[in-house]
Amino acid sequence: MKQQHSYKKVFGLIGWLLLGALSSGKAQTVLQQHLQTLLQNHQSIKVIENQQLAAQQQVGRVGYLPDPEVGLGIFALPIETRLGAQRFRFSVSQALPWRGTLRQQKVIAQKQARVIATRLPVLQSQLVWQFKKAYYPVYMLKQDSLLYAKYLEILSVYQKLTRQKYETGKASMVDVIRVRTETRQINTQLQLLSLQRQKFTEILKGLLFQQNDKTIPIDDSLSSPQPPLINTPGVFADSASGGNPQFSVWESQAQWLESKHRLTQLKNKPAFKVGLDYINVSARTEVDIPQNGRDALMARIGLKIPLNQKSYKAERQQIRIQQEELKLKASVLKNNLRSRFQQLRKGYALTLTQLKLYKEQIVDLQEAIRIQTTTFASSGKGFEEILRFQQQILKYELAKNKMLLEQFMIKAEMEMLLGKTQ
């Protein structure tokens, strides 16, 4: 009866292995919480937000007339006139740029602020991608550890069975030693997995700005990874062109450059300057004449003529070259997105084929274990085959986890290409 109970326990643990380390989860709650914390607290995001606030302040600083100029001149050697000597001159003047220049300066500042704002989604997408690249390996290492732990339980049962068979003379001491050495090796693997998890955990802590020894919670299970639009290449290309935030950055930069081009055209127009001078005149004492000592007022108008046409022309050509560069960048990115999607799509198809193979292999090995376990129970022979089959099941389960990790990474990269941050 005791042996029958042990056999049942073995089959129960093997059945757990057959189900795999990944169970379907309805929500990625822990991961989503980490991503929310990441996007709220990461210092790089705060830097861009401050830059955006500064750019908005710049909008309020432009689009106004230049400050008026005020001057005071005192005649050290007064100039004698018919009405008296000029004692001092007080002047005020105001520069007047060409119509539309001030408005265009404000438009440029607004579009510059827009360029900075469009950089935020790019940074958020990259941060999420970096976080997932470290999170998914930690998650899968956790699943591998569970596999090894359950395998140790199976080995513990095997150890009891082989010792019982050895004590009754139906098995050799070699079977007991095999279980012992296999147990030692699995314990070492668990230690190595723990060290690997620590490496990725430090990356997660760095992204979350956690400097203490507080552990990073990891999901117990995640939904099976299904990359977005994996079976619709055309839709993916259109969605990436509209969703990838880098296109928005370049589009806003192109609009900003177009506004700068318009401003250079306005700078090429004349600018005006108007002013008024007040001249104080002292009265003459030696004669009595009409309007003796009358002060003078003089209105002035100036014209600034842009003679250096080569400078403005070179500036406009520079802007056109920069606009063309942005168009080329967008074209290159679109082509790279199509190419990368096809690579990811084929990689995902490969993982599906391999997962199918591993599941079928595990089913056959499980059947072989059941047959061989019955033989071992009756004769005490064939334990080496049982252990070898069990090792192969563990190998295929670990290989399944590796393929699932590959699927998670494919999904994360495709979401990054589409500009998703969850």
> What pLDDT is stored for residue 320 in this prediction?
95
> What pLDDT is stored for residue 404 in this prediction?
95
* Residue the block writes with tokens 């005071």: 72
Distance CA 411, CA 280 (A): 82
pTM: 0.81
Tokens of residue 245, six digits: 């935030």
Domains of the chain listed by start with CATH number: 2-417 (1.20.1600.10)
Residue 69 sits at φ, ψ, to 5 deg, of -105, 135
> What pLDDT is stored for residue 19 in this prediction?
47
| Residue type at 144 in one-letter notation | D
> What pLDDT is stored for residue 223 in this prediction?
86
Cβ proximity of 34 and 214 under 8 Å? no
Tokens of residue 252, six digits: 């806003």
Distance CA 162, CA 176 (A): 6
> What pLDDT is stored for residue 410 in this prediction?
93
What does the pLDDT profile of the chain (422 residues) look like in tens digits? Answer: 444 455 444 445 545 444 443 444 444 579 999 999 999 989 999 999 999 999 999 888 888 898 899 999 888 888 887 788 888 999 999 999 999 999 999 999 999 999 999 999 999 999 999 999 999 999 999 999 999 999 999 888 888 888 887 777 776 788 888 889 999 999 999 999 999 999 999 999 999 988 777 889 999 988 888 877 777 767 776 777 778 899 999 999 999 999 999 999 988 889 999 999 999 888 887 777 887 778 889 999 999 888 888 888 899 999 999 999 999 999 999 999 888 888 988 999 999 999 999 999 999 999 998 988 888 777 767 788 888 899 999 999 999 999 999 999 999 998 898 888 87
HSE on the CB side for 332, CA within 13 Å? 8
Distance CA 414, CA 125 (A): 11
Distance CA 408, CA 245 (A): 22
Tokens of residue 345, six digits: 């799509």
In total, the chain counts a number of residues equal to 422
> What pLDDT is stored for residue 134 in this prediction?
95
Distance CA 405, CA 411 (A): 10
The sign of the CA dihedral 151, 153, 158, 159 is: positive
Angle between helices 383-417 and 309-379 (to 10 degrees): 160
Angle between helices 309-379 and 2-19 (to 10 degrees): 160
From residue 150, alpha-carbon distances to 24, 166, 299, 390, 394 in Å are 19, 24, 97, 12, 10
The strand pairing partners of 303, in sequence order, are: 272
From the list 351, 347, 391, 402, the residue with the least C-alpha distance to 368 is 391
Distance CA 181, CA 158 (A): 12
> What pLDDT is stored for residue 233 in this prediction?
67
